[in-house]
Amino acid sequence: MSGALRKELWGSPLRAAFTLALLLLFGWAGFHALDWAVLQAVFRADAPACRAVHHGACWGVVAEKWRPILFGRYPYEDQWRPAVAVTLLSLTTLLSAWPRSWRWWLLPLWLVALGLFVLLMRGGFLGLAMVPTNRWGGLPLTIGLAVVGLALAFPLALALALGRRSQWPAVRTLCATYIELVRGVPLISVLFMASFLLPLLWPAGWQPDVLVRVLAGLSLFVAAYLAEIIRGGLQAVPHGQVDAAMALGFGRWPVQRDIVLPQALRLVVPALTNNVVGTLKDTSLVTVVGLFELTGALGLALGGDPTWRPFYLEGYLFIAAVYWAMCFGLSRYSAWLERRLAAG
């Protein structure tokens, strides 16, 4: 323990008393949590044993229901397809997070990965049974919506951020109006409009799939928030650099592409990560429009089974652990990327 920390915790009788009280409180809470979650818990898929234990967790619900939780209503015999699809999409995302892979071939790789993801999930080729999008669910839907939604939102956000700083009043006003309108409504209302209102405006017999509509609404919503984050980074770059580059003969777009944007994006890495984490968790709202991602799949898995229905708490804790692992991984990656960009 460093001297400063020791002084902070034990430097006076009052501080020592508070530190001791907190240690006792954390110790008491930790013991009871350990006793409930591990010592008296049931880990096997045995419903009678779970009901017999009154002061312990029933992790057997996860052992029994992990497949419907992770894959939703996807046909049981074909659940290897979403497992392969989400693994492929996750590996492509991890590869894209490595700065050395930021090359020209990354875009074609993403197009191939997204195409394989859709083909595996939907089927209808090479003998794979067709599975409609209303039966997609669980973890593949959560990751798919977050990854594809962010991938579609980022170029639009970049255009909106540059447009809001444009010297043309019409472009600046249009971009600002869009951003303020979208940020002024909750995401759930955007999803409702995309799912139930837009079909009324399309010609009869030609309506996009509900998943496509939800993905479009999510992308348009996220783009407004990303645009303001990027705009903040653009404003943080000293304008003198732009003037110096223009004096050296650079054009306006090369200056933005090669000088301003790299610095702006480097400055807003923490804010971008925060938005990515928020988008990942906001995918749970699609349950209200009939798409059952990770949290919705849990409700389907337990809601119709009276044997395991009493153990919702353990199911939600399992879902929380999955979300926490993904969000914690994103935060650690953000910290690593900040250090790497600062060193480079």
Per-residue pLDDT tens for 50-74? 888 888 899 999 999 999 999 999 9
Q: What percent of the chain has pLDDT over 90?
A: 58
192: how many CB neighbours lie within 10 A of its CB?
Answer: 15
| pLDDT confidence of residue 244 | 83
206 pLDDT band (50/70/90 cuts)? confident
| pLDDT tens, residue by residue, 320-343 | 999 999 999 999 999 999 888 877
Mean pLDDT, range 213-235, rounded to an integer: 93
Alpha-carbon torsion angle 214, 216, 217, 221, nearest 10: 140
CA distance 212 to 210: 5
Count Cβ atoms within 10 A of the Cβ of residue 159 and give its class: 0-12 exposed, 13-18 middle, 19 or more buried. Answer: middle
Of residues 102 and 150, which shows the higher confidence score?
150
Of residues 28 and 304, which shows the higher confidence score?
28
CA distance 265 to 334: 12
From its phi and psi, is residue 314 left (phi > 0), alpha (psi between -120 and 50) or beta?
Answer: alpha
CA distance 95 to 99: 9
CA distance 103 to 32: 51
Helices 169-183 and 210-236, axial angle in degrees (round to 10): 120
* Secondary structure letter of residue 101 according to DSSP: G
| pLDDT confidence of residue 344 | 65
- Residue 1 pLDDT exceeds 60: no
Q: What percent of the chain has pLDDT over 70?
A: 99
* Single-letter residue type at 28: W
- Residue 262 pLDDT exceeds 80: yes
Place of tokens 């337990």: 302
Helices 138-164 and 60-71, axial angle in degrees (round to 10): 50
- Mean pLDDT of all residues in the chain? 89
- Residue 259 pLDDT exceeds 90: no
| pLDDT confidence of residue 14 | 84
6 pLDDT band (50/70/90 cuts)? confident
CA distance 135 to 75: 8
For 292, the 3-state DSSP assignment is strand
| pLDDT confidence of residue 271 | 93
CA distance 226 to 278: 11
CA atoms within 13 A on the CB side of 180: 7
Mean pLDDT, range 15-20, rounded to an integer: 88
CA distance 11 to 243: 54
* Single-letter residue type at 301: A
| pLDDT tens, residue by residue, 296-326 | 999 889 988 888 888 999 999 999 999 999 9
Closest CA to 314 of 137, 119, 17, 53: 53
- Residue 166 pLDDT exceeds 90: no
CA distance 344 to 342: 6
Task: Return the structure tokens found at 45.
Answer: 């898929």
Task: Return the structure tokens found at 166.
Answer: 């444009």
| pLDDT confidence of residue 210 | 87
| pLDDT tens, residue by residue, 130-149 | 999 989 999 999 999 999 99
26 pLDDT band (50/70/90 cuts)? very high
Distances (CA, A) of 44 to 50, 193, 255: 9, 44, 61
Mean pLDDT, range 261-272, rounded to an integer: 89
290 pLDDT band (50/70/90 cuts)? confident
- Residue 278 pLDDT exceeds 60: yes
Asked whether the beta carbons of 49 and 55 are under 8 A apart, the reply is no
| pLDDT confidence of residue 198 | 78
**Can you give the length of the chain in residues?**
344
2 pLDDT band (50/70/90 cuts)? low
CA atoms within 13 A on the CB side of 144: 33
Q: What is the DSSP string of 135-204?
A: G-EHHHHHHHHHHHHHHHHHHHHHHHHHHHT-S-HHHHHHHHHHHHHHHTS-HHHHHHIIIIIHHHHSPT
